Amino acid sequence: MSSTTQQRPLGLETNGINIISEDERKGTPRDLFWPWFAANISVLGLAYGAYVLGFGISFWQACVAGLIGIVVSFLLVGFIAVAGKRGSAPTLVLSRAAFGVQGNKLPALVSWILNVGWEIVLTVLATLATATVFSRLHWSSGDVTKVIAFLVITVLIVGSAALGFDTIMRLQTVITWVTGILTVIYFILVADKIHWSTVSALHSGSAEAVIGATVLVITGFGLGWVNTGADYSRYLPRRTSGGAVVWWTTFGASVAPVFLLGFGLLLAGSSTSLSTAINTDPIGALATILPTWFLVPFVIVAVLGLVGGAVLDIYSSGLTLLAAGLRVPRWSAALIDGVLMIIGTIYVVFFSSSFIGPFEGFLITLGVPIAAWCGVMLADIALRRAPYAEADLFSSAGRYGAVRWVPIALMVLGTVVGFGLVVNTDAGWLGWQGFLLGPVGLGGKTGAWEYANLGVIAALVIAFLGWLVLGRAAVRRQEALPTEPAGTPAGVSV
């Protein structure tokens, strides 16, 4: 299918991983506010209040950790979004400029696993929230309710992602308004559950605990989106201001989580029982403190917020699957991811007894390699002065080559060092992690730095500084070559 096929409003998107043609580029940076706000206004942000306080830190320490973690992590997403408007292609296609057309399959695979994991997490939460609220209303309970909720939510998520970009942008605008208004009402209704005297009495924690909480927020918010940053800016005209792209992406994604996490800290800090309940069923626990008449609106805000994030994830994971080499239409890739999402959700909802343990383990474990990839990608974007050579992004014989071993080595090195500096106690087969905490003098796997998750930051810094220094000459050689006429080779617009 041609990359110049016109997109019909709310129709099936025919573009895949191809370069977006000039006549299809549209919109302004302000349009980025809607998808990013809707994807991150999920009431899961409230639950992070309990997760952050679980590090044994005070309210004010948690506020600092949350603010830094949210804003800085989404700033990384904003920087990567700049590549989208420069190259008009999905994130994991533009990543080929650094890793090579074939070498890029490694980060594409990691990115795809991360996206599918988040799809499962968000669908699980939406299903559990609906079942909990229905049970409290005495409308239905048990596995039947979970199955029905799961089916409805799955159809909404997979259907929207399969239709594509225009449908998603329209849906996210609606989600933004509905969830924004209902979330404010939620704040008002549960404000009396906040006891400042209890919250302010929380004891301060160590510096290591604050760092660990900050890294958890980084991995739970922006770092989970860095591999999709360019997917929603690629339709913008190339003359668009890069600074405006960074601002609207960062602002749109950050503003809701900042308020949600802050309010969640107040709620979790006021009640030990609520904080404990959140670890098992985050959204359902937050519903238990509501008056009965608002439970239905709460289901709406909870499900829509989670759907908003899941739709972006499954859309981007489909693009990433194509970038990894699967040659099927874009909507088919979304359906494949939908099947995996269904399988994963069934396991967690019906066979797993805990949420927070596996969730934190998932975030930190995949956060390490994606942080390493992000470091290389950010450095590569910073080094480039000329536009991407479009045709060469799809040809191993082009200037970007088949495999570029230096960035791959940096990603692997960052990941190995990163795994050596994190500890995951929620999966026995990952017990080998944290092997560097002792040798580098950080107290070993049971020392003060056990849960500081330094490996995520280490992976990002190693890969970023490494490619910033070692990649300069390579990028200059690429950009010195003559550019072929713009266009995407036939057959890559799947």
pLDDT in tens, 186-197: 999 999 999 999
d(CA 274, CA 17): 44
Residue type, 391: A
CB distance 48 to 314 below 8 Å: no
Q: How confident is the model at residue 359 (pLDDT cuts 50, 70, 90)?
A: low
CB distance 488 to 394 below 8 Å: yes
CB distance 101 to 398 below 8 Å: yes
Write out pLDDT tens, residues 42-83. 888 898 999 999 999 999 999 999 999 999 999 999 999 999
DSSP state of 353: S
Taking Cα atoms as reference points, which of 74, 142, 114 lies closest to residue 337? Answer: 114
Q: What was the pLDDT predicted at 6?
A: 40
Mean pLDDT over 365-394 rounds to 93
DSSP state of 54: T
Residue 470 has pLDDT above 80, yes or no: yes
What is the chain's mean pLDDT, rounded? 86
d(CA 301, CA 252): 18
CB distance 337 to 116 below 8 Å: yes
Question: Rounded to the nearest 10 degrees, how much is the dihedral formed by the CA atoms of 279, 283, 284, 288?
Answer: 100
For the entire predicted model, the pTM comes to 0.86
Q: What was the pLDDT predicted at 426?
A: 67
Percent above pLDDT 70 for the chain: 92
Number of residues in the chain:
494
Q: What was the pLDDT predicted at 138?
A: 74
The CA R_g of the chain, rounded to the nearest whole Å, is 22
Residue 8 has pLDDT above 50, yes or no: no
Mean pLDDT over 179-202 rounds to 92
CB distance 290 to 187 below 8 Å: no
Taking Cα atoms as reference points, which of 241, 224, 210 lies closest to residue 29? Answer: 241
Write out pLDDT tens, residues 277-317. 887 778 778 888 888 888 888 888 888 888 888 888 888 88
Percent above pLDDT 90 for the chain: 48
CB distance 109 to 403 below 8 Å: no
